[in-house]
Amino acid sequence: MRPKQYAAPPSEAVLAGIPGVSTAIARSLFREFGSVAGVCAASPEQLRCVRGVGQRRAQNSASTLHPAWPK
């Protein structure tokens, strides 16, 4: 018998689509910031407050969520 698979809610799935962010970290981010918009508005320093998010992951996530606009 196979174990029951966890189906992430759409908001968590969006966050788990960020390179380097697992479903567990996505769940923690969603819990901490309340929404995808809340995570998007967070600075790298705020993202680092979430367990499992270090400096590199916070910076990579922020870069993915806020790509630099061409000048």
pTM: 0.77
Q: What is the DSSP string of 15-70?
A: HHTSTT--HHHHHHHHHHHSSHHHHHH--HHHHTTSTT--HHHHHHHHHHHSPPPP
Domains, the chain, in order of start with CATH, read: 10-65 (1.10.150.20)
Do the beta carbons of residue 37 and residue 23 sit within 8 Å?
Answer: no
d(CA 40, CA 18): 11
pLDDT at 71: 46
What digits encode the pLDDT tens for the residues 12-51?
Answer: 888 999 999 999 999 999 999 999 999 999 999 999 999 9
